[in-house]
Amino acid sequence: MDKVSFTAMKDGTPDDYAFLTKHETEYANGTADRLLEAMTELDKGLSGYQVTRLEHSLQSATRAWRDGADTDWVVAALLHDIGDIYAPYNHDEYAAAILRPFLRAQCVWCVQTHADFQMIYYGHHVGGNQNKRDRHAGALYFDDCVDFCERWDQSSFDPEYDSLPLSFFAPMVREVFSRPAYDPDVICEGLRKPLTDSAVAAERNSTPAAS
């Protein structure tokens, strides 16, 4: 079979859908590599900052790595602005939708809401609501997003910072997107893990990979 037999989905057969499922699974297995390729498009995105969006993303992830963050936090930091390419007005929600099946819910929530939290730094300069994050007051992961933005997002526009390359993070991205989608043992709804680990950070920062 090269193609399905139907022209309307309601007319499909079990064989048709078995065939499609196989193809869709094979395609889904390439998600990580497509995202890594898409990351390079961030170099062509929004200008005016002292660094490109790609450098900002690499810098955010590098800071997370050097803080001893676990893989979920590092990948969240790396991909938090991937939506800038196609969804400039809701890039946070776009990125969260990509990550939701494969990352801890805590990390996805921070990616989904980080644009609101970032307003604390500049909202008053652009006629926006500087305290937009207050709409999330009482949320389980509120303090985590405060830290995510303070440590890794708002601070990562420094052209002098020695970011690690995209190739360094590629194995982590591939590991995350090879997980079973929506695995409860991955999503861990309600679980909070620290953003930083001083012991892990000390070990990472003593090796050449961190420099």
Q: Output the pLDDT for position 30.
A: 93
Work out the widest C-alpha separation in the chain, in whole angstroms: 61
CATH number of 13-210: 1.10.3210.10
How do the pLDDT tens digits run along the chain, 211 residues long? 899 999 999 999 999 999 999 999 999 899 999 999 999 988 876 678 999 999 999 999 999 999 999 999 999 999 999 999 889 899 999 999 999 999 999 999 999 999 999 999 999 999 999 999 999 999 999 999 999 999 999 999 999 999 999 999 999 999 999 999 999 999 999 999 999 999 999 999 997 765 5
Q: Output the pLDDT for position 46.
A: 64
pTM value surpassing 0.85: yes
For tokens 């969260």, name the residue.
96
Query: In the chain, what are the domain boundaries?
Result: 13-210
Q: Which distant-in-sequence residues (6+ apart) come within 8 Å of 88 by Cβ?
A: 46
User: What stretches of the chain show up as alpha helix (H) in DSSP?
Assistant: 14-28, 31-39, 53-66, 71-79, 91-99, 105-122, 142-148, 166-177, 184-187, 198-204
